[in-house]
Amino acid sequence: MLLNDKVAVITGGAGLNGLGFATARMMAAQGAKVVILDLDMAQPAAAAAQLGPDHLGLVANVTDKASCEAAVAQIQARYGRIDILVNNAGVTQPAKFLDITGADYDRIMDVSLRGTLYASQAVLPLMQAQKSGAIVCISSVSAQRGGGILGGPHYSAAKAGVLGLARAMAREYGGSNIRVNCVTPGLIATDINKGKIPEDKRQGILDGIPLARIGEPNDVAGCVVFLASDLSKYCTGITLDVNGGMLIH
Ligand code: NAD
């Protein structure tokens, strides 16, 4: 198995139809002990229980540094280490540039970008002490092409910020044997976009995807597992596109 006895923490992982939970399930199947962090209303403990008794679900808000630190302290008490962090929590909003309010900007930037900063800051001291770790950050094709299908410019900016933050972390922590990489999903069928793709736009979207289908959560999970595992042990600072060919560059 690829992740035998590794301890993996996934933010925003409680949504059973989401990329985080698909990653949690695949990591557990590869031998990892998985910790799902999510907001209270997303019920992370119930999600983790679906994976089995070795796994843990904790309430943590990634926009709150103390909340991230408290979660890491609990994980350390139970498992003694953290090998993998997946910065997956994110929220989106369709909006035209001139319509974005300050509150919209804060909400969208805070979860993806500040959340990646705070969750990583909480985990890095432990990884440094271990002299090993793998962090995978979920960005988006929206960061690369200035907008995806649904997210507004502020979402695009937040996800572009994630790429910059991750690359800077990769430089700073390579010497501690901590790898930091990004995944840039295209359009993947999850709750974030459920019911939001107008039927009359669907064929046009598919026409722009060489693999001619919308992605599934496991399409992303497989790439996250790859970046979290030793299969990718000489990869750091990379961006792995998972978009069916929607953006080839
Ligand atoms: P999702 O809505 O199922 O997952 C997002 C999760 O983040 C939810 O479980 C939510 O409760 C959690 N969350 C929100 N705010 C949080 C906070 N403050 N603290 C902790 N958790 C919080 O959607 P998804 O599609 O699985 O999205 C997962 C990630 O993938 C997101 O970062 C999203 O931007 C990114 N992404 C998704 C797509 C897609 O097409 N689905 C494409 C590109 C990138």
Q: Which CATH number characterizes residue 170's domain? A: 3.40.50.720
The helix or strand, by DSSP H or E, that contains position 54, with its residue range, turns out to be none
The pairing of beta strand 7-11 with beta strand 33-38? parallel
The edge-to-edge listing of strands for the beta sheet with 33-38 is: 56-59, 33-38, 7-11, 84-87, 133-138, 178-185, 239-242
Q: Is residue 207 part of a domain?
A: yes
CB neighbour list of residue 77: distance below 8 Å, 6 or more residues apart: none
How does DSSP classify residue 2?
Answer: T
Q: Is residue 52 part of a domain?
A: yes
Token duo for residue 17: 């139809």
Q: Is residue 211 part of a domain?
A: yes
Q: How far is the CA of 111 from the centre of ligand 1 (A)?
A: 9
Active-site option among 79, 105, 118, 155: 155
10, 11, 16, 19: which to mutate for ligand 1, most atoms within 8 A of CB?
A: 19
Predicted TM-score (pTM) above 0.95: yes
* pLDDT at res. 14: 98
Tell me the residue range of the domain where 233 lies: 7-242
* pLDDT at res. 198: 85
Q: Which residues line ligand 1 (CB under 6 A)?
A: 11-12, 14-15, 18-20, 38-39, 42, 61-63, 88-92, 111-112, 115, 138, 140, 185, 187-188, 190-193
Angle value at C-alpha 20, between 202 and 131, nearest 5 degrees: 135
Q: How far is the CA of 167 from the centre of ligand 1 (A)?
A: 21
Answer for the pair 241, 247: CB distance below 8 angstroms, yes or no: yes
The CA distance from 78 to 212, in Å, is: 44
Q: Is residue 249 part of a domain?
A: no
Give residue 174's identity as a one-letter amino acid code: G
Domains: count for the chain: 1
Q: Is residue 2 part of a domain?
A: no
* pLDDT at res. 196: 85
Answer for the pair 207, 69: CB distance below 8 angstroms, yes or no: no
Angle value at C-alpha 246, between 153 and 179, nearest 5 degrees: 75
For the chain, which ranges sit under pLDDT 50?
A: none
The CA distance from 60 to 70, in Å, is: 8
* pLDDT at res. 199: 86
Q: Is residue 205 part of a domain?
A: yes
* pLDDT at res. 149: 82
Q: Is residue 247 part of a domain?
A: no
How does DSSP classify residue 10?
Answer: E
Backbone angles phi, psi at 35, to 5 degrees: -115, 120
Complex ipTM: 0.99
- Residue 55, Cβ neighbours under 10 Å: how many? 20
Instruction: Please identify, by atom number, the ligand 1 atom nearest to the C-alpha of residue 87.
Output: 32
Q: Is residue 248 part of a domain?
A: no
